[in-house]
């Protein structure tokens, strides 16, 4: 909603400095009110205010974390390498078919790192099956981007709607502190983001950015880079602790020192309000995703840890859903359903044009000029 509002205001403002200023002030007020409403949401430690449906009618958008293996070591990772299990491609396709029959319209492939398995061939084959055979509205990937290649796009890009890159900082020292890097990485994370953005544009795939706000990047100003990257969607997450994953003790990760306060998160959002980020606080994020793990089990996070259901491959979608809790209000509040199909195909000149009406982050010069005027 805020992205659409900002886009309309900027369009109306044109090149006028005073109208750009007014547009930013209006969006800032709305963003503040929106975030305050998020903070007033009840705690999701129990089942209060959560749509705890007894059926699987909420599987419209599914996040399939098909691997826990990764080449990075992000300290706040919430899906750590506790197993190396990988469902055979045939079984994965059967599971996706069951989800489609239960109402799934969008699937997101995540990990771990999706491109680590068979050098991206596994996720590529699943992307093709999901779009070509199941004909899902939206097929997306979340990746750190380090293993994404032009050859992969040439082979599988036509079936992908959105590629999201995890990028938590535009300072490489900060990325190293976070663990958003690999010892043998061919390129640094900032370079990776720009390279994947260029590939997405060339192959008609929407480009998205995910940023986890934590103690290492909470004071960073990312305005210039985000404006230049022009993501179709910039999601900003408050660092979240998950028992059994990143909460210390016996967990593979300890993110306790990376957790920020609600006020710190609000300050980060206020600093970037001109870019209209999609904000996800801990309360909104915790139960507003339908997550399927590497065994094709639903993960229930209502008690602060990801409790698995029975496998969809054994019990079917309805049988596996069981006591899975899904926060439908949170899903709506974080704009979980949006214009999620790919860009238009390349035209005769070889360039890609978008037919989507999804509000994009405004032109780089407009944003930077407006931000400068606000600071003067």
Least-confidence region, from 96-105, 152-161, 178-187, 354-363? 354-363
In this prediction, residue 183 carries a pLDDT of 66
Is 333 among the domain residues? yes
Of 12, 52, 70, 200, which is the active-site residue? 70
Of 77, 167, 200, 239, which is the active-site residue? 77
Higher pLDDT, 343 or 271: 271
Is 259 among the domain residues? yes
Is 239 labeled as catalytic in the residue annotation? no
In this prediction, residue 332 carries a pLDDT of 84
Distance CA 290, CA 329 (A): 13
Average confidence (pLDDT) over 83-99: 95
The chain-wide mean pLDDT, for the chain, equals 80
Confidence band for 182, pLDDT divided at 50, 70 and 90: confident
Number of domains, the chain: 1
In this prediction, residue 83 carries a pLDDT of 84
Distance CA 229, CA 140 (A): 18
Is 70 labeled as catalytic in the residue annotation? yes
pTM: 0.77
CA–CA distance from 224 to each of 175, 178, 228, 265, 278 (Å)?
17, 21, 6, 19, 17
Is 358 among the domain residues? no
Confidence band for 104, pLDDT divided at 50, 70 and 90: very high
Least-confidence region, from 47-56, 166-175, 208-217, 318-327? 47-56
Least-confidence region, from 150-154, 237-241, 283-287? 283-287
Helix (H) or strand (E) holding 283: helix 282-285
Structural domain span for residue 21 = 2-346+366-375
Is 159 among the domain residues? yes
Is 150 among the domain residues? yes
> Is the pLDDT assigned to residue 8 strictly greater than 60?
no
Q: Which CATH number characterizes residue 138's domain? A: 3.20.20.70
**What are the DSSP E strand ranges found in the chain?**
61-65, 106-110, 138-143, 162-166, 206-213, 233-238, 278-280, 290-292, 297-300, 307-311
Average confidence (pLDDT) over 239-259: 79
């Amino acid at each position: 909603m805020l992205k659409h509002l900002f886009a309309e205001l900027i369009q109306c403002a044109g090149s006028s400095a005073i109208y750009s200023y007014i547009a930013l002030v209006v969006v800032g007020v709305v963003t503040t009110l929106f975030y305050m409403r998020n903070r007033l949401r009840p705690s999701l430690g129990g089942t209060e205010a959560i749509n705890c449906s007894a059926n699987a009618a909420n599987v419209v958008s599914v996040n399939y974390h098909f691997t826990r293996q990764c080449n990075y070591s992000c300290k706040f990772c919430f899906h750590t390498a506790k197993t190396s299990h990988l469902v055979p491609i045939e079984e994965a396709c059967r599971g996706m078919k069951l989800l489609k029959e239960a109402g799934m319209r969008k699937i997101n492939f995540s990990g771990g790192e999706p491109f680590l398995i068979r050098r991206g061939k596994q996720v590529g084959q699943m992307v093709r099956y999901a779009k070509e055979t199941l004909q899902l509205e939206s097929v997306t990937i979340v990746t750190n981007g380090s293993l994404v290649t032009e050859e992969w796009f040439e082979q599988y890009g036509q079936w992908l709607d959105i590629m999201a890159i995890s990028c938590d900082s535009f300072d490489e020292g900060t990325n190293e502190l976070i663990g958003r890097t690999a010892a043998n990485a061919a390129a640094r994370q900032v370079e990776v983001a720009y390279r994947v953005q260029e590939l997405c544009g060339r192959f008609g795939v929407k480009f998205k950015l995910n940023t986890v706000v934590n103690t290492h990047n909470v004071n960073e100003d990312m305005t210039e880079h985000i404006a230049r990257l022009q993501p179709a969607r910039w999601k900003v997450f408050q660092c979240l602790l998950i028992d059994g994953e990143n909460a210390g003790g016996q967990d593979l990760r300890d993110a306790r020192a990376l957790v920020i306060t609600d006020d710190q998160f609000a300050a980060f959002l206020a600093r970037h309000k001109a870019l209209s980020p999609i904000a996800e606080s801990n309360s909104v994020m915790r139960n507003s995703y339908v997550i399927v793990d590497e065994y094709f089990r639903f993960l229930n996070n209502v008690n602060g840890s990801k409790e698995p259901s029975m496998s969809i491959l054994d019990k079917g979608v309805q049988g596996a859903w069981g006591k899975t809790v899904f926060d439908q209000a949170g899903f709506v509040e974080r704009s979980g359903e949006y214009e999620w199909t790919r860009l238009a195909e390349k035209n005769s000149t070889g360039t890609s044009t978008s037919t989507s009406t999804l509000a994009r982050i405004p032109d780089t010069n407009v944003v930077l000029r407006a931000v400068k005027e606000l600071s003067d």
